[in-house]
Amino acid sequence: MIVAIASGKGGTGKTTVATSLALAAGCQVRLLDCDVEEPNCHLFLDAPPGEEEIVCLPVPVVDPDRCTACGVCGEVCQFNAIAALPDCALVFPTLCHGCGACTRLCPEDAIHESRRPLGTVSTARVGTVELITGRLTIGEALSPPVVRAVRGRGDGSGTVIVDAPPGTGCPVMASLHGVDVAILVTEPTPFGLHDLTLAVQAVRQLDIPFGVVINRAGCGDDRVQEYCRTEHIPILLEIPQERRIAEAYARGRPLIEAFPEWREPFVELLTNVAKLARTGARPPFARTATGGAQ
């Protein structure tokens, strides 16, 4: 089972949910940190440095002796990463998405590909959790290839938890591709509700079963709960707005390790998520902020 932890905005508590869910699994689990621009699962798990693999993107290189400036490469490029000048083609590597169309369609065979490093993927083990972390090189703008490299480590059997990037852009779509179920983490504020609606639209477009976890419950109003009721979205868990929880987060402590009484709610969360993955139906009940059933 592959579970994605996503949100429409940053700062809602995705990593809080992802790390505690991984620790609550009670078995070997892979945790994929796909928030490659600012990965932080390793901080909560106190993970040691892992073995790194460089993620590269194939980009075109033009042979000026063979290029006739026919313009075919520029016509097929959807990202304006290559353009025909009067005497040769000019490549803009940072705009290239590595599709390879220009290389394959050049009538003069004047283009070959080189590899441009974009970031790294590292693997570390902490107890029963195998943590796989993607990290985009500072200054790079193209994160989906690094996200896809991390997601590629999540294929196969067993439980896989994907800590997705915030928002609903291309990196998020890359992290959600092929998952069995999604947990959307939000907060009961106007911004939280607005961005939750965007995330809901995204997972519905991808036809992924999903439910909602409300973090910092009690800090705002009940419009998120009302929205979920109206849209028939299961609220799987509510984590209250408490100073002690915020302090544990600031110290980089997973919720279920700082407060063992939260282990059972997260075990139950994983059980209900598995039901969603199997049936796509609403779980029979949702956890309240105090850990009871409603």
pLDDT, tens digit, 9 for 90 and up, residues 86-114: 999 999 999 999 999 999 999 999 999 99
Q: Tell me the whole-structure pTM to 2 decimals.
A: 0.90
Cα(44)–Cα(254) distance, integer angstroms: 6
In 10 A of CB 284, how many CB atoms? Answer: 9
Tell me which residue has tokens 């890359």. Answer: 174
Q: In the predicted model, is pLDDT for residue 289 greater than 90?
A: no
The DSSP result for 122-184, as a single string, is EEEEETTEEEEEEEEPTT----HHHHHHHHGGG-SSSEEEEEPPSSSSHHHHHHHTT-SEEEE
Residue pair 229/294 in contact by the 8 Å Cβ criterion: no
pLDDT interval class at 49 (50, 70, 90): confident
State the average pLDDT over residues 110-125: 96
**What is the per-residue pLDDT for 292?**
38
Measure the CA–CA gap between 64 and 276, rounded to whole angstroms. Answer: 56
Percentage of the chain lying above the pLDDT 90 cut: 86
Beta-bridged to residue 52, according to DSSP, are 122
Assess whether pLDDT exceeds 90 at residue 281. Answer: no
Contact by Cβ (8 Å): 210, 276: yes
State the amino acid at position 23 in one-letter form.
L
Q: How many of the other CB atoms lie within 10 Å of CB of 202?
A: 21
Q: What is the pLDDT, as a whole number, of residue 279?
A: 86
Average pLDDT, whole number, for the chain?
Answer: 92
Residue with tokens 């016509």: 75
Question: What is the Cα–Cα distance from 137 to 90, expressed in whole angstroms?
Answer: 24
168 close to 198: Cβ distance less than 8 angstroms: yes
Q: How confident is the model at residue 129 (pLDDT cuts 50, 70, 90)?
A: very high
Average pLDDT over residues 239-266: 95
Q: Which domains does the chain have, with CATH numbers?
A: 2-28+158-279 (3.40.50.300), 58-117 (3.30.70.20)
Select the more confidently predicted residue: 170 or 283.
170
DSSP state of 262: G
12-38 pLDDT, tens digit per residue, is 999 999 999 999 998 899 999 999 999
Taking 70 as the threshold, does the pLDDT of residue 290 lie above it? no
- CA nearest to 185, candidates 221, 212, 222: 212
Mean pLDDT value across residues 228-238: 95
According to the model, what pLDDT value does residue 285 have?
44
